[in-house]
Amino acid sequence: MSENGDPAKPVASGVRLTHSEESQTGPWSGSMAQSRPSLNPLVAVLLAVGAVVVLFGVGAAAERYGNKEPAAAAVTTAPTKKATVKPPGIDDAVRDGQFEFIVSRVDCAQTSLGVEHLKRTAQGKFCVVSLSVRNISDDSQYFLGHAQKAIDAAGTSYGNDEIAGVYVNRDTQTFLQKLGPGERVVGKLVFDVPKAVTLTTLELHDSLLSGGVEVKLR
């Protein structure tokens, strides 16, 4: 019986409240229940954009790394050597002015030239140069022996000994005559040089005032 005199209602045994009912009657029911805070929409948008940017950057980096080609090995080229032009020498044709010269032999073993009483003795030794001269112009011209020079290793020049040249060219009169156009003669030049000297170069001219051309003897 209740306090006001009404008979008390029996409570059925074995009856359990449901979860919803329990929550409604529990200590967190009504205004005391706390709700989960909602996410700010602006922050959500910013987070989404940031995630897209990060994913895009990672993808681009991966693509760049995958397509990167290995650096080409440095190619080293050996320095090219300049072609050395060999100066003209024995048996080479050279030209100065109206003449073409070919030196065929140099003999420095003699100290005297000529026969019997017609003999010339060197102060040192004679260097006899055998050569051919051809007139390549359209005019006749003399070959002048005294216009020719021989040079040693020290740069000292020696003139042609014309008297000794007469002895060695006694069978060749053409050195004393004009050479016609296209005409070619063979003769010898003689240089009286010290015994210790070695000739290295001949300087040949078509006249006393021409520039000359060099022929290397060594």
* CATH value at residue 166: 2.60.40.1240
Label residue 84 by pLDDT band (50, 70, 90). Answer: confident
Question: Distance between CA atoms of 148 and 158, rounded to whole angstroms?
Answer: 9
Q: What is the rounded average pLDDT for all residues in the chain? A: 78
| pLDDT at position 52 | 52
On the 0-12 / 13-18 / 19+ scale of CB atoms within 10 A, 192 is buried
| pLDDT at position 3 | 47
Does the residue 43 lie in any domain? no
Least confident of 11-25, 59-73, 186-200: 11-25
Q: Which of 114, 175, 177 is nearest to 145 (CA)?
A: 175
Contacts of 212 (CB under 8 A, 6+ apart): 96, 149, 203, 204, 205
Q: Is the pLDDT of residue 24 over 80?
A: no
What three-state secondary structure class fits 3?
A: coil
On the 0-12 / 13-18 / 19+ scale of CB atoms within 10 A, 210 is middle
Asked whether 61 and 184 are in contact (CB, 8 A), the reply is no
Strands (E), the chain: 93-96, 99-115, 118-135, 141-142, 149-152, 157-159, 178-179, 184-193, 199-204, 213-216
Domain that holds residue 142: 93-216
Does the residue 24 lie in any domain? no
| pLDDT at position 94 | 98
Does the residue 138 lie in any domain? yes
The pair of three-digit structure tokens given for residue 174, joined into one six-digit string: 């053409």
pTM for the whole thing?
Answer: 0.61
Between the alpha carbon of residue 70 and those of residues 59, 67, 73, 74, 75, the distances in Å are 20, 10, 9, 12, 15
Does the residue 168 lie in any domain? yes
Does the residue 21 lie in any domain? no
Give the mean pLDDT of 61-84: 61
Percent of the chain with pLDDT over 90: 49
Contacts of 89 (CB under 8 A, 6+ apart): 103, 215, 216, 217
Does the residue 80 lie in any domain? no
Label residue 64 by pLDDT band (50, 70, 90). Answer: low
Does the residue 18 lie in any domain? no
Total number of domains in the chain: 1
The pair of three-digit structure tokens given for residue 96, joined into one six-digit string: 């100065």
| pLDDT at position 176 | 72
pLDDT digits (tens, 9 = 90+) for 149-204: 999 999 999 999 999 998 888 776 667 778 999 999 999 999 999 999 999 999 99
Question: Distance between CA atoms of 53 and 48, rounded to whole angstroms?
Answer: 9
pLDDT digits (tens, 9 = 90+) for 105-124: 999 999 999 887 788 999 99
